[in-house]
Structure 1
Amino acid sequence: MSPSPQHPSAGPAEPSPARFANPLARGIAATRPAFLLVTLVACLVGLAVAHGSGVRLDPLTALATVLLALVAHAAGNVINDYHDRDADRLNTGRLFPFTGGSRFIQNGVLSARQTAMLGYGLLAAVIPGGLWLAWSAGPGLLAIGAGGLLVAWAYSAPPLYLVGRGLGELCIVAAWLLVVAGADYVQRGAFSALPFAAGLSYALLVANLLYINQFPDHAGDAAAGKRTLVVRLGPQAAKWGYLVIALLAYAWLVLMVGRELLPQKAAAAAFTLVLSFNAAKHLIDHADEAAELAPAIRQTIAAACVHGLILTGALAMAEWPGGH
């Protein structure tokens, strides 16, 4: 596919109106479905915590939890595209499809108004299902769900616009912890510290994905007034932050296993530090070279997802102090 003449900045792999002429395919692709994997894994971690605690899983509410979490994440992606449209337009250093947004607005696939309607429509669609789950599981889920919807909105939208204030990583950690906790709560019917103990290392590794994506985008973000941590610190200082976040994630996991809050088998998830540290080394060597960062971004995605899947297996199958 060659760049559209109306949108000369479009790269060869980026979306075009001709490619997404089908409205349904266009709407699905606008949500960036490949990135929803991190939410699916977070749900699995939460369900595994409940199962490992001796809770019998209910298939219907488990499936509903996963579907609603995926729709909420999809809504957040589209809302982010709408509110980041100016930064994405100025972003010439992007690494599509990893950074720079979906490019649907910039390449004329969807208008800004259509994008806003899709994003906020998906967010509204989560509410009825969430209320049904809360009726089934307990009122505490309302607090978890409201927190998740608030983070999804406040991350990108004014007046809070937390990602533009250098607080995006904290939002990501909070959001994915809430996904883990929500999946556990639906099955358990009560609050527990266990999903937070189990989910924090995973949430930190997901936050590192946002963090490394800010390096190719930092020039466009700065031009649009989006003050992410990488913009505030500059790439050469900020590159060490990736390693700090990774070290915090693995240190937390080891601490939880050492204090017997998680089963010994969960320590196997620490093997993904090889991926995280390789990505950190690559970032440290190429922080100012956006075109060189794709391998590190791929390793960051793999580190988070494999870490979460290993945790899922360990938590679901092992007998542990918080469990049976």
Structure 2
Amino acid sequence: MEKLKFWIEAFRLRTLPLALSSAILGSFLAYADGQFNPLVFGLAISTTIFLQILSNLANDFGDSQHGTDNENRLGPLRTVQAGKISKKEMKRLIALFVVLSLISGGLLIFSGIKTANAGMIILFFVLGIASIVAAIKYTVGKNPYGYSGMGDIFVFIFFGLLGVCGTYFLHTNRIDPLLFLPAASVGLLSAGVLNLNNMRDIENDAASGKRTLVVRMGSHKAKIYHASLIILSPLLSLIYVIRTWESVYQLMFLLSVFPLGFHLYEVFKNHVPDKLNNQLKVLALTTFFFSVTYSLGIFLIK
């Protein structure tokens, strides 16, 4: 039972609401167009969960591998570094979640693509493999992209653009360029979560050779960058709503602006990186709240 507790800790289940935001929003944008597939929705949720847990496990393993997880780290327990789970055990579980992601993702693709279009099926399988590789290579290997300041870009693409638009396509088998606006909104908030995480870890990351954007910019510029992510997100979605206006219910997502405003206030007044931990939870849950209220607004007008 004690080992199970550490496995659950390594799964970092508190990160799942953030990861699910793109699948939920993409599905309800499809619902707005009258093309919601419950099977695609369920498989999108399961695939997202498997990929997020895979990413968390790989991150635990990779940061231990590179020495970034050490006694100076400010975040929650990392199981490999703490000796609670061996590297061999972690590799096995990473492999298991790669398989689970492939199975769930494969079923998702075959359930969503309605035509026998080999090219489209191959494209989505390539994107699926890319998602798995991105989940692992953030911290694992000789040249992890998270150690060179590229994490924000990958998060924006996979948690935002691909997560939302890809899910929408698997429901509808078409894409609308306007959808990149709400998709970018989720991507920006997700990048904000990563940026905040890196703001918390700036000192240890710099000492460990992890050159995140925050390490490269410094804390002051990182706060300005953070504000630009948070402010631009609802603005892009507001543009989308104006372009597709049907009902005042579409503005429900603006309820998330209030917690986002308080969040920015707390970030800008902070001078103790360790105290940003609470704001990580706030921003992750607010991103989920943004996605849910956006989706609820769509549901109420249909």
Q: Contact 2:21/2:287 (CA < 8 Å) preserved in 1?
A: no
1:141 aligns with 2:120: no
Evaluate the alpha carbon distance shift between residue 116 and residue 251 of structure 1 in structure 2; reply closer, same or farther with a 3 A threshold: same
Query: Hey, what does 1:99 align to over in structure 2?
Result: none
TM-superposed deviation, 1:262: 8.5
CA displacement at 1:118 relative to structure 2: 1.5
**Aligned pair 1:265/2:249, yes or no?**
yes
Out of 27, 30, 33, the residue aligned to residue 47 of structure 1 is 27
Partner residue, 2:299: 316
Contact in 1 for aligned 2:18/2:285 (Cα 8 Å): no
Superposition TM-score, scaled by structure 1 size = 0.81
In structure 2, runs of 5+ residues without a counterpart are 114-120
The AA in structure 2 aligned to 1:79 is A
Matched residue type, 1:135 = F
C-alpha displacement at 1:266, in angstroms? Answer: 3.0
Q: Give runs of aligned pairs for residues 61-140 of structure 1, distance below 5 A.
A: 61-85=40-64, 86-90=66-70, 92-96=72-76, 102-138=77-113, 139=121, 140=123
**2 CA distance for matches of 1:223 and 1:217?**
10
What amino acid sits opposite 2:144 in the alignment? Y
Q: Quick check: 1:249 aligned with 2:249?
A: no
1:155: which partner in 2? 138
The answer on whether the counterparts of 1:194 and 1:261 sit within 8 Å (CA) in structure 2 is no
Secondary structure at the counterpart of residue 79 of structure 2: coil
Q: Please say if 1:290 is aligned against 2:265.
A: no
Instruction: Work out the CA distance in 2 between the residues paired with 1:259 and 1:60.
Output: 30
Unaligned runs of at least 5 residues, structure 1: 1-18, 97-101, 320-324
1:290-324 deviation line (CA, Å, top 9, x unaligned)? 233234323212321111111111233335xxxxx
Deviations 1:113-168 (A, max 9, x none): 32233123312321133223322322253244234223323322345522211121
Answer yes or no: is 1:58 the counterpart of 2:37: yes
| Alpha-carbon shift at residue 193 of structure 1 (Å) | 3.3
Tell me how far apart the structure 2 counterparts of residues 144 and 191 of structure 1 sit (CA, whole Å).
16
Residue 15 of structure 1 is matched in structure 2 by: none
Structure showing the higher helix proportion among its residues: 2
- CA distance, structure 1, for counterparts of residue 246 and residue 136 of structure 2: 32
Equivalent residue runs for 1:5-16 within 5 Å = none
Matched, 1:301 2:280: no
- C-alpha separation between the residues in 2 aligned to 1:264 and 1:165? 43
Counterpart of 2:189 in structure 1 is 205
Contact 1:275 1:302 in 2 (8 A): no
After superposition, the Cα gap between the structure-2 partners of 1:94 and 1:137, relative to the gap in structure 1 and judged at 3 Å, is same
Q: Give the TM-score, by structure 2 length.
A: 0.87
1:185-200 correspondence to structure 2 within 5 Å: 185-193=169-177, 195-200=179-184
Q: Per-residue CA shift, 1:41-63, capped at 9, x if unaligned?
A: 322111101111111x3323321
Report the counterpart of residue 8 of structure 1 in structure 2: none
* 3-state SS, counterpart of residue 293 of structure 1: helix
| Count of aligned pairs between the two proteins | 292
Secondary structure at the aligned position of 1:45 is classed as helix
Partner of 1:21: 3
Q: Distance in 2 between matches of 1:176 and 1:245?
A: 14
Is the contact made by 2:193 and 2:284 (CA closer than 8 Å) also made in structure 1? yes
The letter for the 2-side match of 1:275 is P
1:172 aligned partner, one-letter code:
V
Partner of 1:12: none
Where 1:21 maps in the other structure, the secondary structure is: helix
Preserved CA contact (<8 Å) 2:205 2:215:
yes
Paired amino acid for 2:84: V
Moved more, 71-80 or 131-140: 131-140
